[in-house]
Amino acid sequence: MVRNFSEYYLAEKIGVGAFATVYKAYSQLQKPTYGKVVAIKILNEKIYGASESKVIRQFEREANIAMQLNHENVVKVYNWGKFNGRYAMIMEYVEGKNLNEFIHEPGKYGFTTLVEIGYKIACGLVHVHNHGIVHKDIKPENVLISNDLKTVKITDFGIAKVPRRWWQRDLFERAGSERRFSHISYAAPEQKAGHSDARSDIFSLGVLIDELIVVKLSIPEIPGKNDQDYFRRISEVIFKYRKTQKLLSEYLVIPEEFKEVLKRATHDEPSMRYQTAEEFAFALSKFIEKS
């Protein structure tokens, strides 16, 4: 395995996917081009079940989309190319974990702390949508959070939808995460049917925030949170109530007004949701304690 990519030396793996692996990497220069520490996403040498040329084109597309974005709540992609015979993407490094790991690790947090995480994701979406881009895969795995919870960043634009003036069609019309406790999708109903826009990302973020609040809130009313089958039981309840447009957070002692915010964000009909990420972010901001 080649350890040098451009000026950077690969250290430990921090993420592994079907087509690529992400490493923490350190610059060997006194004045690093992109910072002393970065994350480098490298296409795997062997790609199973897919055309290699197609994966390379998708990788290039993802990098070009992400490199347009520059916002504190979006992971910065600095550059991409072929280094020592391997395709790689040099990205901003976040000292922390993805939100899925955060959700499933021990520890409970206050309501406003969790809402602020959702608010920061919404702010990132505002920037993404202002560039005409629909992320289409907002889920916990695609959000990075620092260990102190202050830094929250959207990542992975692998299936994003871009303005028609760049690409004539959505290359991944029906794509989106189908996993929510193995039952419920983060993808909006219209996205599953092959039609997505900014409101589809709002739906996905609403589902994500509902999950985050339920699992990580300090005093949930759902009993037996320390039992081994707790997540299985949550899964069953989510599956039951999402079919009737209800949220699991209905069970929590949180402001009724906040429940209404999530209900609106996750409405099955796009016209009944917040129409922009700015609207959604503003609604969330009302529940954040001002310092």
Is 172 in the same domain as 106? yes
**The pLDDT value given to residue 290:** 58
Mean pLDDT of 207-233: 76
Active site members: 137
Share of the chain above pLDDT 90, in %: 58
**Cα–Cα distance list, 152 to 82, 122, 144, 213 (Å):** 29, 10, 6, 16
Give the single-character DSSP code of 291: -
Helix or strand run (H / E) with residue 202: helix 198-216
Reply yes or no on whether the pLDDT at 118 is more than 80.
yes
Of 58, 92, 126, which residue constitutes the final position of a domain? 92
Of 44, 64, 92, which residue constitutes the final position of a domain? 92
**The pLDDT value given to residue 151:** 98
Mean pLDDT of 199-212: 95
Domain count, the chain: 2
Mean pLDDT of 48-67: 82
Of 66, 92, 118, which residue constitutes the final position of a domain? 92
Q: Decide which of 21 and 232 is more confident.
A: 21
Q: Which runs of E-coded beta strand occur in the chain?
A: 4-5, 8-16, 20-27, 37-43, 77-83, 86-92, 96-98, 143-146, 152-154
Could you tell me the sign of the dihedral formed by the alpha carbons of 141, 145, 146, 147, in that order? negative
In a domain, 195, yes or no: yes
Is 133 in the same domain as 271? yes
Is 125 in the same domain as 80? no
Q: What DSSP letter does each residue of 98-158 carry, written as one string?
A: EHHHHHHSS--B-HHHHHHHHHHHHHHHHHHHHTT-B----SGGGEEEETTS--EEE---T
**The pLDDT value given to residue 223:** 65
| pLDDT band per the 50, 70, 90 thresholds, residue 181 | very low
In contact, 171 and 134? CB cutoff 8 Å: no
Mean pLDDT of 143-152: 97
- Residue 70, both tokens: 């520059």
**The pLDDT value given to residue 239:** 60
Residue 190: domain span: 96-285
Reply yes or no on whether the pLDDT at 182 is more than 50.
no
Using alpha carbons only, give the angle 188, 200, 185 rounded to the nearest 5 degrees: 30
66-94, pLDDT tens digit by residue? 999 999 999 999 999 988 788 999 999 99
**The pLDDT value given to residue 240:** 61
